[in-house]
Structure 1
Amino acid sequence: MSAPVAAPRRRLSVSRLFVVLAVVAALVAGVLFALNWVQSSAAAAAKPWFAGYTDVTATPTFAFETPKGDAGRNVVLSFIVSSTEDACTPSWGAAYTVEQASAQLDLDRRIARLKQAGGDVAVSFGGQRNDELALRCTDTDQLVAAYAGVVDHYDLSTIDLDIEGASLADATAGERRAEAIARLQDTRRAAGKPLAVWLTLPVTPDGLAPEGQKVVQQMLADKVDIAGVNAMTMDFGQSLKKGTSLADGAESALVRVQRQLGVMYRQAGTTLSDPTLWSKVGMTPMIGQNDVEEEVLGLDAAKKLNAFATSHGIGRVSMWSLNRDVTCGANYVTLKVVSDSCSGVDQKGRRFADALGRGLTGELAFAAGKVTTEEPTDARDLTDDPAKSPYQIWTSDGAYLQGTKVVWHHNVYEAKWWTRGDLPDDPVLNAWETPWTLVGPVLPGETPIPQPTLPAGTYPGWKGTDQYDKGDRVLFDGVPFEAKWWTQGDSPAAASSDPDSSPWTPLTEKQIREALSGASDGGVTPAS
């Protein structure tokens, strides 16, 4: 009897193997694509828009109804404030009621003409000079009616709340405002007429100050679905470091506002993706001569800001103001004094509106129909690879000197002062709350950069019983310190919590390099 013949094994052909691999790759790509689409689709669908502010009551009257180009087809009319006769009656600049503006400024007809030509208007409440409605109108029902009266009269899809000065500092007025706007927005949405609400707030290169943060937090707490925060990137004053351009200061402010918005939304229980957060950031520079004499925004800087806005997906760009978008005439005495009707710089026939508004063709009404909802968190693997990180990877037990750079979650951070245990990406609202500055992402193809380290024994270890003179150096927990004055018994550990009163200061990376160089030249004597 013969042995049974074994069935032949089935082999996977090369062509079938490619098919399997292609299917697997497609599945992986699909998952990644889906996540990326969810995070960016809302922001991508929203086309950023440009609309310059127009001071309705300024003289000479600016003819916004006949724009000189596409960049002028949308305008933000300003400012609605409390009437001097009745705090709950809205007025244009405390000079004209809504009805008076229609009769004496022909405002309604001019708005109709702009819309007839394909343009649109938003209305801004508040401003620096007069009282925003919520500041003096203390009856919430009347306040709601005041806002609604303006919105209904001009059939608005978008309003702008310019909160500064006394209005910014008054938290009670902020609570009234938030409650009133929430009620107005709910009523409009129920009637099928959604309303986009922008908050225009002053900033420094470090972002929103606590008062501005409070305004946003009040709105979110009352469930106002804010379209975004429009940063007034102007008049920085002493907050703008010497040698920093106005455009660079503005970009710094916008980056920090975007991060602050993310933190405040998370605190309010809603996580948003970076693209969505950028779509909720707006910027409004002051063209030409700013109120601060040293600050002047030229046309090249305006183009730079436009490039930043378009590359980051900023949702809105405005400017103060369309009234000023022209070179001052020869009879204007001094360009250092800000004019309501000219920019204070030689524009050579060009317009700031064109420079700032280039490519921003979105409609004002778009954000009105959007509802802000929770978005999935980033599912990327945030584990840092030492072989692909230019600097050391941050650890919770590591001690980092001022100027030390680390890698954390694929980003590079730099220490502002000596630190230990502070997360580089800790979601703090203010830059001064964290010892870390975000430098930027780890770039593709980067490899470790050699970092200077002091050999053991370079300096003697600190002892509480020893006396130290100014300039003496010691090692404490492996970190080199230098004495600022004579000291005995003062631990260097206190330098991190109270650097001003501590007699010790940690060495910077530059000083460590110099010390190492001195050691190679025989200038540093290691401790015995």
Structure 2
Amino acid sequence: MSSTARLSPWRVSFAVIIVLATVVAGVLGARMYEARATQGPAPEWFAGYVDVTATPSYAFEEGSADSEGHVSDVVLSFIVADEEGTCTPSWGTYYGLDEAGAELDLDRRIQRLREQGAGVVVSFGGALNQELATVCESPEELAGAYREVIERYDLDTIDLDIEGPALQDPASVKLRAQAVALLQEELSAEGKPLAVWLTLPVIPSGLTSEGREVVIAMLESGTDLAGVNLMTMNYGQARDARSMFDASAAAMRSTHRQLGIIYEQAGLPLSSGALWGKLGATPMIGQNDVVDEVFTLEDARRFNEFAVENGIGRVSMWSLNRDVTCGSNYPDTSRVSDACSGVDQGDVRFSELLSQGYSGHAAEAASATTEPDPAAAAPAEDDPETSPYPIWNEEASYLEGSKIVWHRNVYEAKWWTRGELPDNPVLEAWDTPWELIGPVMPGETPMPVFTVEKGTYPEWKGSSAYEKGDRVLSEGTPYEAKWWTEGDSPDAAQVDPDSSPWVPLSAEDVEQDLE
């Protein structure tokens, strides 16, 4: 995520800054918003991003209550290294923390939002400027930079937006993970738990290899991640012909599978529901940076339904600054604006559509910890009586489109396959011939076998020879010979359709014969 238009700040004297910062610090001493989750599942929450330094300035402090009076959190962005490239936090290189308090009234505006019952998350990184982990020299120094921001704004949740050069820098990936683990340990000892979200780019097939390495490094360092927030935007050629909703839903499903493997390999097996709760999504509303990608209001409605149905833990959007129709003085809506969406919204707001059903706050989940689920580590046993499709057989071969059941999940073959585990823990979707469709639903039974009346075709006999195209009945099911055969039971075609000389007939085939 990025921004382009920036304020040209009027620089006040250092002495005035210090005075104002001291006054504001006293105000922030008593925090108005305190909500901690000590047990049960983490709440699902919505928080739109706000580009703090973009022009025109967005009045996030005014909040926006829904019909039930709920005011959503905001994610303020972006904290990066200062303009000299040192390990000193700044807002987009334009403002130090004191300068933002003095020139943007940022501290006061945050406090005003909290007085309405909403919370604030601060995002570090982004697409532009230098991410702190790329310039800080030690985990301790980086943890100190993070802590300066956390203490300044009394944060319990932070967002680490890792993209661009920072995503491709192994040294900073390791340093960041060590710093966050150290910071969480220190704050926990002080009774101040810190929730940490990673925000990473994604394509319909899931996280990139660089993105996965960021997650893996965090878990290896001992960091307890609150979740992984996906930038469901700017897919480019990977989107293919899919709508933005379909591409985003595919990205979420793919990453859900990847995250399950990553956590299991880290010794923290999680249930499917827990994994959905550890996922977040951030679409870029309206016109994306890729010209032919537009996330519409209908995409937003459908994605909200998808998010609620699956229990996605967090939904955000880029950005609240842009959540309005462009004016007539902005004729080229295919060019991304920091101040409008590029689509005709009428009176509708993307934030209203995407936040439906998300009434929690980030702070309510700050104390939640990740606990392994022993039941998730043990594969579920399959029962033929409650499986809608045949149970996967290592000795069988499966044609493209074949559906099977394995460990109480339904899979579909993407191409011919034999002997390859449907739930083989591969992180790239193209490394497996199986696509996970979803779980076996309660009350499901085997798919009914198509049968016809006795006498429609001759009964199969093991002692008879059959030529290609001959049709027979076996237990009432009609079959056609694919080549000459003798003694090969047609029933074997249900288990091994590729090597069987028989193929089941469809109702349409039989109807044509009876006409």
TM-score above 0.5 = yes
Corresponding residue for residue 490 of structure 1: none
Corresponding residue for residue 410 of structure 1: 408
Corresponding residue for residue 24 of structure 2: none
Corresponding residue for residue 62 of structure 2: 66
Distance 1:135 1:456, change over 3 A: farther
Corresponding residue for residue 203 of structure 2: 204
Corresponding residue for residue 328 of structure 1: 326
Corresponding residue for residue 3 of structure 2: none
CA distance in 2, matches of 1:438, 1:257: 12
- Is 268-277 or 223-232 further displaced after alignment? 268-277
1:80 is paired with a residue of what secondary structure? strand
- Is 302-311 or 343-352 further displaced after alignment? 302-311
CA distance in 1, matches of 2:296, 2:199: 22
Does the 8 A contact of 1:387 with 1:448 survive in 2? no
Corresponding residue for residue 116 of structure 1: 115
Distance 1:474 1:269, change over 3 A: farther
1:114 is paired with a residue of what secondary structure? helix
TM-score between the two structures when normalised by the length of structure 1: 0.76
CA distance in 2, matches of 1:474, 1:147: 73
1:153-164 map, 5 Å: 153-164=152-163
Does the 8 A contact of 1:52 with 1:72 survive in 2? no
1:159 is paired with a residue of what secondary structure? strand
CA distance in 2, matches of 1:91, 1:116: 25
Distance 1:508 1:332, change over 3 A: farther
1:41-190 map, 5 Å: 45-70=41-66, 73-190=72-189
CA distance in 1, matches of 2:41, 2:506: 55
Aligned counterpart for 1:421 among listed residues 413, 419, 422:
419
Letter in 2 for 1:157: D
Aligned-residue CA RMSD (Å):
3.1
Letter in 2 for 1:401: L
- Is 62-71 or 129-138 further displaced after alignment? 62-71
- Is 222-231 or 265-274 further displaced after alignment? 265-274
Distance 1:457 1:106, change over 3 A: farther
2:435 is paired with a residue of what secondary structure? strand
Question: How far does the alpha carbon of each residue in 1:415-447 deviate from its partner, in whole angstroms, 9 at most, with x for none?
Answer: 122221111122222211211011233443443
CA distance in 1, matches of 2:258, 2:39: 18
Letter in 2 for 1:174: V
Letter in 1 for 2:322: R
Letter in 2 for 1:46: A
Structure 1 unmatched ranges of 5 or more? 1-40, 460-472, 479-505, 523-528
Distance 1:271 1:317, change over 3 A: same
Distance 1:343 1:316, change over 3 A: same
Distance 1:373 1:521, change over 3 A: closer
State yes or no: 1:362 paired with 2:360. yes
Does the 8 A contact of 1:280 with 1:315 survive in 2? yes
CA distance in 2, matches of 1:376, 1:283: 27
1:45 is paired with a residue of what secondary structure? coil
Question: How far does the alpha carbon of each residue in 1:249-302 deviate from its partner, in whole angstroms, 9 at most, with x for none?
Answer: 111111222222111111111122222211111111111111112211122221
Does the 8 A contact of 1:134 with 1:177 survive in 2? yes
CA drift of 1:388 comes to 4.4
Distance 1:188 1:420, change over 3 A: same
CA distance in 1, matches of 2:63, 2:381: 52
1:199 is paired with a residue of what secondary structure? strand
Corresponding residue for residue 36 of structure 1: none
Question: How far does the alpha carbon of each residue in 1:47-92 deviate from its partner, in whole angstroms, 9 at most, with x for none?
Answer: 2011000000100000101123347531000000111214201111
CA drift of 1:139 comes to 2.9
Does the 8 A contact of 1:402 with 1:508 survive in 2? no
CA distance in 1, matches of 2:130, 2:274: 32
Does the 8 A contact of 1:389 with 1:447 survive in 2? yes
Corresponding residue for residue 491 of structure 1: none
Q: How high is the sequence identity, in percent, across the aligned residues? A: 51
1:493-508 map, 5 Å: none
1:24-39 map, 5 Å: none
1:402 is paired with a residue of what secondary structure? coil
CA drift of 1:308 comes to 1.4
CA distance in 1, matches of 2:123, 2:321: 15
Does the 8 A contact of 1:403 with 1:414 survive in 2? yes
Corresponding residue for residue 297 of structure 2: 299
Does the 8 A contact of 1:258 with 1:281 survive in 2? yes
Kindly tell me the number of residue pairs found equivalent between the two proteins: 437
Letter in 2 for 1:167: A
Letter in 1 for 2:156: S
Whose Rg is larger? 1
Corresponding residue for residue 5 of structure 1: none
2:366 is paired with a residue of what secondary structure? helix
Does the 8 A contact of 1:386 with 1:448 survive in 2? no
CA distance in 1, matches of 2:321, 2:505: 56
2:430 is paired with a residue of what secondary structure? helix
CA drift of 1:381 comes to 8.6
CA drift of 1:44 comes to 5.7
State yes or no: 1:435 paired with 2:429. no
CA drift of 1:409 comes to 2.4
Letter in 1 for 2:207: L
Letter in 1 for 2:274: T
Distance 1:407 1:457, change over 3 A: farther
TM-score between the two structures when normalised by the length of structure 2: 0.78
Structure 2 unmatched ranges of 5 or more? 1-36, 452-464, 470-482, 489-496
Corresponding residue for residue 15 of structure 1: none
Distance 1:508 1:108, change over 3 A: farther
Distance 1:445 1:225, change over 3 A: closer
CA drift of 1:458 comes to 4.5
Letter in 2 for 1:321: S
Letter in 2 for 1:285: P
CA distance in 1, matches of 2:134, 2:402: 47
CA drift of 1:145 comes to 1.1
Distance 1:357 1:118, change over 3 A: same
CA drift of 1:347 comes to 0.8
Letter in 2 for 1:249: A
Does the 8 A contact of 1:202 with 1:212 survive in 2? yes
CA drift of 1:307 comes to 1.4
Distance 1:349 1:139, change over 3 A: same
Letter in 2 for 1:106: D
Letter in 1 for 2:183: L
2:196 is paired with a residue of what secondary structure? strand
Corresponding residue for residue 448 of structure 1: 447
